[in-house]
Amino acid sequence: MTTTSVNSTPGQHRFHLGQGPAHRRMRPREFGPTDIVLAGLTLLAAICTAWIVFDQLTLLSGMLGFVVVTAAVFLLYYYVLNRQLLGRRAASDRLMGAVATLAMAAIMTPLVLMVGFLFERGAHLLSWHVLTTTQQGVPLVCVPHQHCAQAGVFHAIVGTAEQVGFAMLLGVPAGILTAVYLNEVGGRLAHWVRVIVTAMSGLPAIVAGIFIYSIWVLKFHFSGFAGSLALAILLLPTVTRGTEEVLKIVPGDLREASAALGAPQWRTVWSVVLPTARSGILTAVMLGIAVTIGETAPLLFTVFGSTTTNWNLFGGPQASLPFLIWEMVKLASKSTIDLAYTAALVLFLLVFVVFLSGRILGSPWLGSAVRSLANRRSARRRVALEEVADR
Amino acid sequence: MTMSLGRRAVGVPPARPITAGREAGEMVAEGVCAWFGKRLVLEDVTLTMARNEVTALIGPSGCGKSTFLRILNRMHETIDGAQLAGTVSLNGTDIYGLEQRAVEVRRHIGMVFQRPNPFPAMTIAQNVLSGLRFNRLRVANPDEVVEEALVKAGLWNEVRNRLKALGGDLSGGQQQRLCIARALALRPSVLLMDEPCSALDPTSTRRIEQTIGDISHEVTVVIVTHNMQQAQRVSDRCAFFLAGEDEPGRVVEEGPTEQMFGNPDDPRTRDYVNGQFG
Amino acid sequence: MERAGSVAYGTITSEIRPGDGTPLEPRLVVTRRTRSDLWFRGTAYSAGTVVLLVLGLIGLFLALQSWPALHYMGLRFLTTPAWVPQSQHGHPASFGIGVAGIGTVIVAVIALVVAVPFSFGAALFISEYAPRTLLGVLPFKSALTSVVDLMAAVPSIIYGLWGLLVLEPHMIGLSRWMSDHLGFIPILKVPRGDSIYTGSFFIGGVLVGIMLLPIVTSLSREIFSLTPVAEREAALSLGASRARVIRDVVLPFGKGGLVGAVMLGLGRALGEAIAVATVISLSFVHNWHIVSPGANSIPALIADLFGSGGKLGREGMLAAGLVLFVFTLVVNTLASVVVGRTRARTR
């Protein structure tokens, strides 16, 4: 194939296996160092062209336009170049790869920009003081030339922790149990439950909010608990779908082996199926929780917000991080936007930590490390016990 | 409470303390038929699997051997749409009696599957003890049970120093012997083996065959195999299953292994054991 | 071997069929479950039922509570552009989702136009082009998947904050360019020499589109990865280039699934409240010029105005929520049926 010809040329002499005592290892590649250099040069050329176009024609303004033009020029140059070097077929192949790579880079850009933005605006405002104080006694909007104390987000962290914690308590077990029902128990109803769970996983968050408002808040007033209920409605289908995906992968062999040993079904599920799927379930659950932490819409009409710390999940309005950001953005003054940045950074870090711990707990590497650690510890304990017994 | 009374009222031996030895059982199948949905896959199989003997079920694929084996410990009914007819009795008690519990039956009739399937989330020791745990049987000396079962399965020497390793870390042949140990730890009366060596290399196969020979004096073994030499090597009796096109499987002939391989009554058996078809 | 066996014996075996002709009857087998198993199955079953119940309750309660508003407005609820739930200056209360309903669709369509090409490209990159590891150690592919998942977990309020303070100022140039140079397309024209370009459908749609990127990417990546390896290798061994494999094997296989992924994205876009409400300026007149200020969508309307306008206003909001609920339910269910079909083919 023409595609490989460029790269296989330097490797050809390696086929003389008998010549040297040491065989040079060869790794056939479709996209080798030469191609990387070529692509880099093309990119450079594209940037130069785009710059000229921008300077001369000024069709577009701003960074965005420059990037778009660069990408287009790059694709054109890259195609023409590869067509000259490798032919039409290989060039269209390369073009497709370049398009896919650019698309990947494009979708990563917002994340990078957003994280950069949060740190740029929020990092210098973040302090121990902000994390441990509330908005109590601080005027919401600080008039210029008036000295205002620095408001904190402690009350919102407490609210978010309690609301999400309770939502987990409701949503995670129910979600896992529903997945177990779908995958292990089944029955005539299972098909409908699966359809409903899928439909619910696309339920607009705001609908969950007004639903809880109409069945709970109207009668029992605002509270963190109402927020938890709304969050749990959103968390449950995520957990169920994630868990079901993992349970499907657990080989049927294991269930049979367990049944053949005389295990009742609950035993099989509890001791064989769930432990085997543990890491996958953990990842799914933690992803669900990470998403839940940042939900704003379900809290708008359920927790009501507060400027002081309310430890009681069940009594009265409670603050929460996303809700605080929403309120502060709506007020749109310098001091409130600053508080919004701080809260947004805290919220992002919280989401990130939960997300990352899900990945780490779910990774096979750590799973086995933890297990071997536990084993070593129990072995050590046994040795210690035996020593005691010997004495 | 009523449940345990019900269990005791019937003839399947109730759970005894695991430390007490259990004798091998005799299994008798009479007029066994099996359906998947509307399709009859096994017809009128009558077979006695005598105490302490190794019975080999041989025959081409799709002739119902595995289905028959799964009927012997009520795994058949775990498949949707599976039905059966006839009786299967262990030591004279019908295991399909309405008062019998499938879970209870399977505890007494162990099974080893075609592909090794140790529980990946459990250590070797936990794997061996899993059957006891599943049935909530407490033992005073779990370490001894582990050792005894692994010794019987011929795996002890290889794993004695790494009982805490995960079951999945073993090689295929070791995994299969672990599965045998796991089944033996429950002290079953009968051990069913569904092509236990078909996924293994010749060396591991040899080891498993040795194991079968070793355990046959304390447990009745029923083994499904495609390998004629294996059937000849390990079994005392043989049953030859055969199914025609669009027809259910039946037992063509059964008898002592020597006779089945040396001087079978049925010409089809002779052709099959000599590897002459097609 | 087996086949030969059954062919060879096919005719002979029929001879040993017992000729007594008695019909075989299956016997009754009862798998008696232990009491703990009955409990287990019962609990799992009730968890499943609770899920059904919750969704049913959502629909039921929204319908019940919004009934007075729906009864008051009748079908005009769907077409009335204004939202005046209390009588003012002698005019009776009149409200509806005439603008918001259409606005919801406009935002979602813009979002999909922005998100889908990039998402498909990125999904192809992850499943087809990305090396499994970088420099032999870094798990590149799984890292990319994780980053995409992380993007999906970033709260919508943070997208909103960023959209309002960073994206919008940067989009003004693009919006102006579009209205200047592509103004011959009616929807891109800006009327009355307007030069603000903020708070438009366009900015809202682009922001939601950015939020959809990770969702559509991860769904379509999963669909691409379901392509049977055997088909892929067969094409490669026939000398197909990678682009050919994608065009002739991967894309045809995933066609249905990709439609489903886009529809699931659509469902998300329709329901996004916070990010849209943060960047748009709420408007109650029909605005067909997508880059000029003034936009509306049902979720953003609810987020902004819920609780105002007294009892009838609240009931009207619940009615709007009911419409949104039914709409997204239909879209998502259709989508999951389509995706499910692709998955079923590989199992």
pLDDT per position in chain C (347 positions), as tens? 333 332 233 333 333 344 454 556 777 777 777 888 899 999 999 999 988 898 889 989 899 989 998 888 888 888 888 888 888 777 788 888 888 999 999 999 999 999 999 999 999 999 988 888 777 777 888 889 999 999 999 999 999 999 998 888 888 878 877 887 777 777 777 766 666 777 889 999 999 999 999 999 998 998 898 888 888 888 888 878 888 888 888 888 888 889 888 998 999 999 999 999 999 888 888 888 888 888 899 999 999 888 787 888 889 999 999 999 999 999 988 888 887 777 676 65
**Domain CATH code at residue A282:** 1.10.3720.10
Average pLDDT over residues A70-99: 88
Number of domains in chain A: 2
Phi, psi of C29 (to 5 degrees): -115, 125
Asked if residue A144 is part of any domain, the answer here is no
Cα gap C279→C197, rounded to integer Å: 12
Residue A185's nearest CA partner among A278, A246, A269, A257 is A269
- pLDDT confidence of residue A60: 55
Chains that touch B (3 or more CB pairs under 8 A): A, C
Same domain, A344 and A277: yes
Question: By the CB < 8 Å criterion, does C129 face chain A?
Answer: yes
- pLDDT confidence of residue A370: 54
- pLDDT confidence of residue A198: 85
Residues B43 and B210 sit within 8 Å (Cβ to Cβ): no
Question: What is chain B's Cα-based Rg?
Answer: 19
Contact A340 C36 (CB under 8 A): no
Cα gap A180→C288, rounded to integer Å: 49
Chains that touch C (3 or more CB pairs under 8 A): A, B
Whether A388 shows a pLDDT value over 70: the answer reads: no
Handedness of CA C215, C220, C225, C226 (dihedral sign): positive
Average pLDDT over residues B234-248: 89
Same domain, A66 and A179: no
Question: C25 contacts in B (CB within 8 Å)?
Answer: 85
Minimum mean pLDDT range among A23-32, A81-90, B182-191, C13-22: C13-22
Question: By the CB < 8 Å criterion, does C239 face chain B?
Answer: no
Question: By the CB < 8 Å criterion, does C178 face chain A?
Answer: no
Residue pairs between chains B and C whose CB atoms are closer than 8 Å:
82
Asked if residue A267 is part of any domain, the answer here is yes
- pLDDT confidence of residue C271: 92
Asked if residue B148 is part of any domain, the answer here is no
* DSSP string across chain B: -HHHHHHHHSSSPPP--TTS------EEEEEEEEEETTEEEEEEEEEEE-TT-EEEEE--TTSSHHHHHHHHTT-GGGSTTEEEEEEEEETTEETT-TT--HHHHHHHEEEE-SS----TTSBHHHHHHHHHHHTT---S-HHHHHHHHHHHTT-HHHHTT-TTSBGGGS-HHHHHHHHHHHHHTT--SEEEEESTTTTS-HHHHHHHHHHHHHHTTTSEEEEE-S-HHHHHHH-SEEEEEEE-TTS-EEEEEEEEHHHHHHS-SSHHHHHHHTT---
Q: Which residue of B has its CA nearest to C11?
A: B244
- pLDDT confidence of residue A159: 93
Query: What's the whole-number average pLDDT of chain A?
Result: 83
- pLDDT confidence of residue A58: 60
Q: Which residue of A has its CA nearest to C130?
A: A101
Pairing status of strand C138-139 against strand B82-90: unpaired
Structure tokens at A60: 């577009």
Asked if residue B28 is part of any domain, the answer here is yes
Same domain, A92 and A186: no
Q: Which residue of C has its CA nearest to A264?
A: C37
Average pLDDT over residues A337-347: 92
Residue pairs between chains A and C whose CB atoms are closer than 8 Å:
287
Whether A251 shows a pLDDT value over 70: the answer reads: yes
Q: What pLDDT digit, counting tens, does each position of B199-227 carry?
A: 888 888 898 899 899 888 889 999 999 88
Same domain, A162 and A114: no
Cα gap C152→C265, rounded to integer Å: 12
Asked if residue A200 is part of any domain, the answer here is yes
Identify the domain containing residue A92 by its residue range. Answer: 32-122
Asked if residue B182 is part of any domain, the answer here is no
Instruction: State the smallest CA–CA distance between residue A247 and chain B in angstroms.
Output: 14
- pLDDT confidence of residue A149: 77
- pLDDT confidence of residue C2: 34
CA angle B124, B192, B275 (to 5 degrees): 115
Cα gap A241→A176, rounded to integer Å: 9
Whether A378 shows a pLDDT value over 60: the answer reads: no
Q: Dihedral through CA A346, CA A349, CA A354, CA A358, nearest 10?
A: 170
Q: What pLDDT digit, counting tens, does each position of A239-249 carry?
A: 999 999 899 88
Asked if residue A191 is part of any domain, the answer here is yes
Same domain, A116 and A262: no
User: Could you tell me what percent of chain A has a pLDDT over 90?
Assistant: 38
Whether A57 shows a pLDDT value over 80: the answer reads: no
Question: By the CB < 8 Å criterion, does C36 face chain B?
Answer: no
Instruction: State the smallest CA–CA distance between residue C40 and chain B in angstroms.
Output: 15
pLDDT band with cut points at 50, 70 and 90 for residue B178 = very high
Cα gap C28→B29, rounded to integer Å: 16
Identify the domain containing residue B91 by its residue range. Answer: 24-116+188-273
Residues B154 and B211 sit within 8 Å (Cβ to Cβ): yes
Cross-chain CB nearest to A260 (options B106, B115, B123): B106
Identify the domain containing residue C165 by its residue range. Answer: 101-346
Question: By the CB < 8 Å criterion, does C111 face chain A?
Answer: no
Q: Which C positions 20-39 lie with beta carbon below 8 A of chain A?
A: 33-34, 36-37, 39
- pLDDT confidence of residue B97: 84
Contact A291 C37 (CB under 8 A): no
> Hey, how many other C-beta atoms are within 10 angstroms of the C-beta on B44?
16
Conformational region of residue C136, where left means phi above 0, alpha means psi within -120 to 50, and beta covers everything else: left
Instruction: State the smallest CA–CA distance between residue A137 and chain C in angstroms.
Output: 26
Number of domains in chain B: 1
Residue B86's nearest CA partner among B38, B41, B36, B28 is B28
Average pLDDT over residues A306-335: 88
- pLDDT confidence of residue C227: 85
Same domain, A114 and A170: no
Residues A191 and C333 sit within 8 Å (Cβ to Cβ): no
pLDDT band with cut points at 50, 70 and 90 for residue A56 = low
A207, A216, A266: best mutation site toward chain C, by most C Cβ within 10 Å? A207
Contact B104 A259 (CB under 8 A): no
**Domain CATH code at residue B220:** 3.40.50.300
Number of domains in chain C: 1
Question: C176 contacts in A (CB within 8 Å)?
Answer: 61
Contact A258 B78 (CB under 8 A): no
- Give CA C23 to chain center in angstroms: 55
Per DSSP, the three-state class of C71 is helix
- pLDDT confidence of residue C124: 93
Asked if residue B162 is part of any domain, the answer here is no
Query: Which comes out higher in pLDDT, residue B262 or C188?
Result: B262
Structure tokens at C149: 């998942």
**Domain CATH code at residue C285:** 1.10.3720.10
Contact A272 B119 (CB under 8 A): yes
pLDDT band with cut points at 50, 70 and 90 for residue A364 = low
Asked if residue C164 is part of any domain, the answer here is yes
Asked if residue B9 is part of any domain, the answer here is no
Average pLDDT over residues A45-54: 83
Instruction: State the smallest CA–CA distance between residue A297 and chain C in angstroms.
Output: 6
- pLDDT confidence of residue C75: 87
User: Could you tell me what percent of chain A has a pLDDT over 70?
Assistant: 83
Per DSSP, the three-state class of A383 is helix
Whether A129 shows a pLDDT value over 90: the answer reads: no
- pLDDT confidence of residue C308: 81
Asked if residue C263 is part of any domain, the answer here is yes
Instruction: State the smallest CA–CA distance between residue C268 and chain A in angstroms.
Output: 6
Contact C155 A351 (CB under 8 A): yes
Asked if residue B157 is part of any domain, the answer here is no
Query: What's the whole-number average pLDDT of chain B?
Result: 85
Question: A193 contacts in C (CB within 8 Å)?
Answer: 48-49, 51-52
Whether B181 shows a pLDDT value over 90: the answer reads: yes
Name the residue with tokens 């010997």: A390
Q: What pLDDT digit, counting tens, does each position of A144-199 carry?
A: 777 777 888 999 999 999 999 999 999 999 999 999 999 998 888 888 898 888 88
Structure tokens at C169: 């100022």
- pLDDT confidence of residue A381: 52
Asked if residue B79 is part of any domain, the answer here is yes
Cut 0.90: pTM above it: no
- pLDDT confidence of residue C195: 67
Question: A297 contacts in C (CB within 8 Å)?
Answer: 156, 273-274, 299, 303
Cα gap A86→A7, rounded to integer Å: 11
Q: Which C positions 284-313 lie with beta carbon below 8 A of chain A?
A: 299, 302-303, 306-307
Same domain, A55 and A169: no
Same domain, A310 and A365: yes
Which pairs count as long-range contacts for A363-368, CB under 8 Å and 24+ apart, including other chains? A363/A279, A364/A279, A367/A278, A367/A279, A368/B166
Contact B244 C11 (CB under 8 A): yes
Same domain, A91 and A207: no
Asked if residue C63 is part of any domain, the answer here is no
Cα gap A356→A359, rounded to integer Å: 5
Question: C24 contacts in B (CB within 8 Å)?
Answer: 33, 40, 43-44, 85
Asked if residue C55 is part of any domain, the answer here is no
Query: Which comes out higher in pLDDT, residue C291 or B155?
Result: B155
Cross-chain CB nearest to B245 (options C6, C29, C33): C6
Whether A6 shows a pLDDT value over 80: the answer reads: no
Asked if residue A22 is part of any domain, the answer here is no
Q: Which helix (H) or strand (E) holds A349?
A: helix A334-362
Same domain, A174 and A45: no
